[in-house]
Chain A
């Protein structure tokens, strides 16, 4: 069984947000909800200025605080490490939402699935995509589990124009992500929280 993970190469990322939009299209998330997004960090003073783009997503932690606090077992890790929420079991208590140190979970309030991006009526695309969500539950990045199960890469990885996101098996020492982490010293976000994220950043 693989342990799925991702490497985000901050040297490659150009902050274009192709990932953000590809994720929107893949998951059809309603307004205001981003399973992935890109932050900018600017330091220094003119003319010595540094700007870094940092993509952000669910880190699919091995020791996931979200799972621990879920009272129903809705929030769970698959054997391959992908953290998912079973919305049939989710009671919308939002404990996981609070527990996630990365703020990468979203609560779908009542009425939210009636809101399309153009206001008023949902587009045919939204009608189709919204049908898989339930109001009153917590939703999040799934590492594109459906795609992964079908042997494809996550949507953000496929589309990334700078090839800054690499997906693979952390347990396979020969995988590209394992090799990159070894060679370039990947770091996990907030590693002091001991959540063992499955996403590693390579510094720019």
Chain B
């Protein structure tokens, strides 16, 4: 076996080699170096030269070599010989040749494509090869049949993009002094580049004495490390935040008024219709100038924005109007800490105290010099992720958390709340209309045009601000007429995805799988979904493959090269090449190359663009990607030698990216989009509620609090660091730790609750939602809110004919209902908290 040539600086000798590469044990892609001894991988460590994570590497990253050597890997193309499919049914795989496999796949998919390409349903979700997400579009299939919106960022990414052209967000590890964290594990256990983030977080806490306040229903690792854990009822984080904002605005009267006046649209006058009141001549939005006591356009050269009114009621151009801030103050009247306390269960004194600590820590009005430039300095911020907004009103949730940040003027300034770009291009900042930054709700793919009936099963045509709501595909497929789909699906292609495990309402997912006449899977090992496949095509492990990986950067920017540490152990192929091959066989190679030119950015360098009908392998494509971003002298060969081009983002790049463009305080785009959707949906017979499109945060109860009230507890799921982003218990090192860790020893239930129900530690329990029920083992602990059951993702696996170990089979997703009722009608986020009742088995 020959071994990939390793860069000399990694310290290789004749029999021992170190290869610089990129991790793929979660979506982040930390820098690694891989040790091989006589051709055997014996160690993986963090790449000390990569400023993303330096030498640091989490448990999953350390365990990667066990996946390489997993005997359950798919070692060659395999075809099912048992026609019966179902959970627990052995497919009786038979090995076949690549030619044979690709002939079968090619013929099946060609026939479908010629009939109607929409009859192919794809589940593709490799975040590091995000360009492969576009393959279904090349084929002509608009569907998305897995979770991205549900467990990631349906309500996260669009609002981030609207605020400041960011994809994700984080607080400033370098300068923040007071960090509120709601429903997420940044810096402790999960989310953006854990290995580097945990070091930065520990430095901030221990070296600088940064205070951390954790708001979540169960005590995670972060809450354990925090200065204060504030337990909260799931789905009510926004009520806690609205209570805090009330205290800041009405009781303390402390917020960054100058920031609101000069950097946001808070002073823009809003009419009774919710839209800006505009100057009759220029069409520009008006503000009220308190100095001159008259209305002006926001950019009137005689106006001083510091004089713009934030409060008051005015009559301008014959229209009653108020600044956006005044409208928000009106809304807030209803959100006293005492009232919000009753909703979220956090004592009102705590809400008041945290609001006071937060606004005082913000040092409103202060500045800091960095690299010779003066910036506003706001060392306080709130950070949040899925737990805080994967809810029915997820968009409103996100806007509320943004508002808590906006009010202290901390958006993209040192110490504050920072936008995280999707890739090396940085935040997407372009001037938009009315002096505002251009909203960028769509970064993963271009928006689907509004259309009736929709083409896509996930109804993207009806969610103009949404991220693919994969769970809506369930209803579309099982009841096609319901949303106007006029055809039945025939085949499914699964690549790097496990919809059977990651989607809600598992019994419905099974119905969808049963409906498929042909299932093709591309993967490294068999899982709950791929054990239903008719044909499995083996992908390389990440230790055998090559990819230009763009590091999604909380702190850094740039690409690193994944390069093989060993030659492929088995008869596998690169997934990109497999998909290109299928594209050629079904006759859509031209489309595929066109789309790749777009999604890989090759259109920026026409001479590097792929020609329509030429077949390129992934190495040729990656070489072009490298050259396109870094120049002709920095193709794959340069990266093979140097490993990466990753660097820490400069203060100039990180801070004040929006420049002279104002950012939204009043999210007017919400009403604009709501009106379009309302008009479109009036053409249908479907009742479509657009009240989720709110320009300002409000508190209101959703079905989570009004329905199924006889289910007295709330179930949530969680992930700890060793199973971050996807569980990995098929790796026995991880499985062994999971089994020894209290997090995973059962379903967390508060002892007071358990006692009332006659449940003892270790008892077998039945957890039942309105949708389904699951079995579990009770783990009595004070680390959880008395109204909550918390379930680790590490005890949820249920595959039987793969390397996956079953463990408890306590599959949380099975409890989740699906459908529009449980969906954020603005972004398509699924409600991921579910009401349940529990009893002894």
Contacts and interface: CB of A to CB of B under 8 A. Distances in A.
A22 B229 CA distance: 30
Nearest to A16: B721
A64 to B, nearest CB: 26
A120 interface: yes
Contact of A158 (B45, B206, B231): B45
Nearest to B569: A124
Contacts of B253: none
Contact of B783 (A22, A25, A51): A51
Given A53-B224, A120-B71, A161-B58, A21 B782 contact: no
B202 A12 contact: yes
A204 to B, nearest CB: 8
A121 interface: yes
Interface stretch (B607-615, B628-636, B734-742): B734-742
A44 B784 CA distance: 12
Contact of B221 (A15, A22, A123, A159): A15
B199 A162 contact: yes
B732 A25 contact: no
Given A51-B224, A118-B732, A161-B199, A25 B206 contact: no
Interface residues of B, number: 65
Contacts of B741: 17, 40
B42 interface: yes
Given A49-B229, A129-B42, A14 B740 contact: no
A49 B219 contact: yes
Interface in B2-46: 37-38, 40-46
Contacts of A11: 205-206, 225
Contacts of A162: 198-199, 201-202
A47 interface: yes
B188 interface: yes
B250 interface: no
A47 B231 contact: yes
Given A46-B784, A49-B229, A161-B195, A25 B65 contact: yes
Contacts of B206: 9, 11-12
Contacts of B55: 158-159
A14 B69 CA distance: 29
Contact of B69 (A32, A51, A124): A124
A129 to B, nearest CB: 7
A125 B202 contact: no
Contacts of A44: 782
B756 to A, nearest CB: 14
A53 B722 CA distance: 14
A96 interface: no
A8 interface: no
Given A16-B221, A25-B63, A51-B224, A161 B57 contact: yes
A106 to B, nearest CB: 14
Given A31-B732, A128-B40, A161 B198 contact: yes
A1 interface: no
B195 to A, nearest CB: 5
A47 B345 CA distance: 11
Contact of A125 (B42, B57, B71, B196): B42
Contacts of A121: 71
Interface string B706-744: 000000000000001110000000001110110011100
B219 A51 contact: yes
A113 B725 CA distance: 33
Interface string B40-79: 1111111000000101111111110110011110000000
A199 to B, nearest CB: 18
A37 interface: yes
A76 interface: no
A163 B199 contact: yes
A123 B231 CA distance: 45
B40 A16 contact: no
B390 to A, nearest CB: 23
B181 to A, nearest CB: 13
Nearest to B65: A125
B663 interface: no
8 contacts: A18-B61, A24-B63, A49-B219, A51-B223, A118-B70, A161-B194, A161-B195, A163-B203
Given A16-B194, A18-B62, 7 more contacts: A14-B198, A21-B722, A25-B42, A25-B63, A49-B229, A49-B782, A50-B224
Interface of A: 9, 11-12, 14-18, 20-22, 24-26, 28, 31-32, 37, 40, 42, 44-47, 49-53, 117-118, 120-121, 123-125, 127-129, 155, 158-164, 204
Going nearest first, the 4 A-B pairs with the smallest beta carbon separation are A16-B721, A51-B224, A123-B69, A161-B198
